[in-house]
Amino acid sequence: MRRNPDTPRPACPCDSGLPYASCCARYHHGLAAPTPEALMRSRYSAYALNLHDYVLQTWHHSTRPEPASLCDEPPATWLGLKIYQAQADTVHFCARLRHGGGRAQRLDEISRFVFEDGRWWYVNGVIADEPR
């Protein structure tokens, strides 16, 4: 059955403006992200979709936390993502989220990535207001 082209497709949680299927879903299903920005967007989408295994799988082994540390109580609702700057191995972004019924919060972070074994890995992040 063909899809009606006028039927809206679900947007990707990473706010790229693309449908999820042609944006972060392909990375969630095994394709290596080609840039740090693509990896960061796919990790944001994974948080939004509760794909914690993907988050851990894309975390560099030298800084990867224990799986239990990703379980928020109450769980976070991810509200949006804005990329400020993407450079060679860093991405400065702001993610908005809410825990339970609480107030919305902002996570303004500069994330660092490394390219190893033919793919990009998340290493760590620094809150943008803190000195690097």
pLDDT digits 0-9 by tens, 24-47: 999 999 999 999 999 999 999 999
Where is 37: in which H helix or E strand? helix 36-48
pLDDT digits 0-9 by tens, 60-100: 999 998 887 777 677 789 999 999 999 999 999 999 999 88
Domain ranges of the chain: 20-127
CATH of domain 20-127: 3.10.450.50
Confidence of residue 1 (pLDDT cuts 50, 70, 90): very low
Residues 6+ apart with CB under 8 A from 127: 107, 108, 109
Residue listed under structure tokens 């993407």: 86
